[in-house]
């Protein structure tokens, strides 16, 4: 984040606005809505600010800005059309460690003003970190259309019951479950429909009917897909926001992990070659223990949990301990990465079948059914095979595939770090070694790789050149 989003209480506090024009008037109005004491420094005021002055809403100092004007103020906004004045305001405020905003000059700001959706006491702020205010306003306008005005009343009614709920439930997670249930159910609908007394009665009765015990735990086994958060399912997103704790793998991208509920505990259970942070059996037992503590546990796995993800082993353990669970499939790396690389896994002119395998090296060898893999008109997708790539290619050639067979390796597919190396079984190992790729990678072998130059469509922002190629011979 370029800026930390916070909300500041400026009620009855002195706030300074430097400038007397239309832009300054807008900022003054916003500060007054937050019940600040507003001081305006400007030789002249426009019509709107004069009206505020005549109504006694602001204090006016008909002067040019001087650092002495910063005495006893907690926040400053510079809204003049003079760069030198704006810079003086910024530098003077920063020396005194007073938050300062210079309109349309993010480089001079210590804080920025977001676009605001006001459903007081519910406030939603949207910011582009000062880079595209118009986009922020467009997003705010969209939010205005989908968030009912009555949400402010909903917040106030929930506040009236907050202490009662806290006293009724000794377990924090039980309180959270209670509020999640009723803020999305009948209570919420009654408030939004203006049935205030009915809503109060409903919530009071619902509270009395709840037992204060440890809520039953549950495990959500969720596939996070190949890395791009846009590829998450709706169900995955919903469960990610409900979880109390997340146990996540190495292949879960930071962008996806950031979409988990902010206050959920995070436990890293990643596995790398010869380095398992937590052994698989310990992960299985961890899920059981957390669920028995009454927690909603998000087991977040890259790709799909049932394709080389050991999801079956984990839910076997949950079943043995009578732990309820849900499974949410994810887009596996084979289909997601291949699609973003412009390589269809099947095509009636090139491949009528597709096979997925893992390429783990063990004692410098890979134990696979090579005759089954080395068949014509078949696409081979190899997970976790970058270290064993020379062995993989040599074995496929030894078992009948031509050394000119097209092959590709894709780094961090579907993300902005995607990089594609195109070659053949003969050339791909050397091309890969020279490219210094960053895991995770996926290998695709088959005639369908020929379609990449024609079908490629995804252009990562971070790479000026998405793919490298070499002659197949």
Q: Which of the residues are catalytic?
A: 249, 271
Instruction: For residue 330, say whether it is annotated as part of any ligand binding site.
Output: no
- The answer to whether 14 touches 99, Cβ cutoff 8 Å, is no
C-alpha R_g of the chain: 30
Q: How far is CA 113 from CA 27, 30, 38, 315, in A?
A: 9, 10, 16, 48
The reply to whether 413 sits in an annotated binding site is yes
Q: Is 439 annotated as a binding residue?
A: no
Between CA 423 and CA 421 the distance in angstroms is: 7
Whether the CB-CB separation of 269 and 247 falls below 8 Å is answered with yes
DSSP 365: B
Q: Say if residue 40 carries a ligand binding annotation.
A: no
Is the peptide bond prior to 440 cis by the omega test (within 30 degrees of 0)?
Answer: yes
159 contact partners, CB below 8 Å, separation of at least 6: 121
- Residue 150 and residue 155: Cα distance in Å, rounded? 9
Whole-angstrom Cα distance, residue 94 to residue 295?
45
From CA 260, how far away is CA 386, in angstroms rounded? 30
Q: Is 307 annotated as a binding residue?
A: yes
Closest CA to 222 of 213, 235, 211, 231: 235
CA atoms of 143 and 145, how far apart (whole Å): 5
Cα distance between residue 252 and residue 223, in whole Å:
9
Residue pair 373/396 in contact by the 8 Å Cβ criterion: yes
Alpha helices in 264-310 (DSSP H): 280-292
Distance CA 158, CA 161 (A): 5
Query: Is 225 annotated among the ligand-binding residues?
Result: no
In 3D space, the residue among 372, 345, 373, 328 whose CA is nearest the CA of residue 447 turns out to be 345
Tell whether 460 is in a known binding site: no
Annotated binding residue 333: yes
The conformation of residue 302, written as its DSSP 8-state character, comes to S
Backbone angles phi, psi at 363, to 5 degrees: 55, 45
Q: Is the dihedral of CA 210, 211, 214, 215 positive or negative?
A: negative
415 neighbors 383 (Cβ within 8 angstroms)? no
Does residue 32 sit in helix, strand or coil?
helix
Tokens (6 digits) for 40 = 């305006």
23 is in an annotated binding site: yes
Chain mean position to CA 299: 17
Nearest to 16 by CA among 44, 46, 36: 36
User: Which residues carry a binding-site annotation?
Assistant: 22-23, 43-44, 226, 302-304, 307, 332-333, 384, 413
User: Which residues carry a binding-site annotation for S-adenosyl-L-methionine?
Assistant: 226, 302-304, 307, 332-333, 384, 413
User: Which residues carry a binding-site annotation for NAD(+)?
Assistant: 22-23, 43-44
């Amino acid at each position: 984040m370029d800026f930390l989003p916070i909300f500041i209480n400026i009620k009855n506090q002195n706030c300074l606005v430097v400038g007397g024009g239309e832009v300054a008037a807008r900022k003054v109005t916003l500060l007054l809505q937050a019940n600040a004491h507003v001081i305006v420094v400007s030789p002249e005021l426009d019509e709107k600010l004069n009206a505020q002055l005549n109504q006694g809403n602001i204090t006016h100092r008909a002067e040019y800005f001087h650092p002495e004007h910063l005495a006893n103020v907690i926040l400053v906004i510079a809204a003049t059309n003079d760069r030198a004045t704006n810079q003086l305001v910024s530098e003077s405020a920063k020396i005194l460690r007073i938050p300062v905003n210079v309109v349309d000059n993010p480089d001079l700001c210590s804080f920025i003003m977001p676009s605001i959706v006001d459903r007081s006491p519910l406030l939603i702020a949207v910011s582009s970190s000062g880079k595209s205010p118009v986009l922020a306003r467009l997003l705010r306008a969209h939010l205005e259309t989908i968030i009912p005005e009555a949400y402010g009343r909903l917040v106030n009614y929930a506040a009236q019951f907050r202490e009662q709920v806290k006293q009724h439930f000794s377990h924090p997670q039980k309180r959270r479950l209670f509020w999640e249930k009723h803020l999305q159910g009948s209570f919420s609908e009654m408030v939004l429909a203006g049935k205030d007394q009915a809503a109060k009665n409903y919530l009071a009765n619902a509270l009395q009917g709840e037992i204060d015990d440890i809520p039953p735990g549950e495990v959500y086994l969720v596939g996070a897909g190949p890395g791009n958060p846009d590829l998450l399912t709706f169900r995955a997103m919903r469960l990610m926001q409900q979880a109390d704790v997340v146990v996540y793998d190495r292949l879960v991208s930071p962008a996806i992990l950031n979409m988990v509920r902010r206050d959920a505990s995070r436990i890293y259970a990643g596995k790398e070659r010869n380095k398992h942070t937590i052994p698989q059996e310990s992960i299985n037992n961890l899920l059981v223990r957390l669920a028995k503590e009454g927690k909603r546990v998000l087991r977040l796995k890259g790709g799909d949990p049932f394709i080389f993800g050991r999801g079956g082993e984990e839910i076997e353990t949950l079943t043995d301990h009578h732990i309820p669970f849900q499974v949410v499939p994810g887009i596996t790396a084979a289909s997601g990465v291949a699609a973003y690389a412009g390589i269809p896994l099947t095509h009636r002119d090139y491949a009528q079948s597709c096979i997925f395998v893992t390429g783990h090296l063990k004692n410098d060898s890979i134990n696979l059914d090579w005759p089954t893999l080395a068949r014509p008109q078949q696409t081979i997708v190899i997970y976790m095979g970058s270290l064993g790539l020379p062995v993989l290619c040599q074995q496929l050639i030894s078992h009948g595939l031509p050394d000119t067979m097209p092959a590709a390796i894709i780094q961090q597919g579907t993300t902005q770090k995607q990089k594609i190396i195109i070659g053949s079984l003969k050339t791909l190992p050397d091309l890969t070694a020279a490219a210094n790729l960053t895991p995770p990678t996926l290998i695709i072998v088959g005639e369908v790789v020929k379609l990449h130059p024609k079908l490629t469509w995804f252009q990562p922002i971070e790479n000026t050149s998405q793919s490298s190629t070499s002659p197949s011979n």
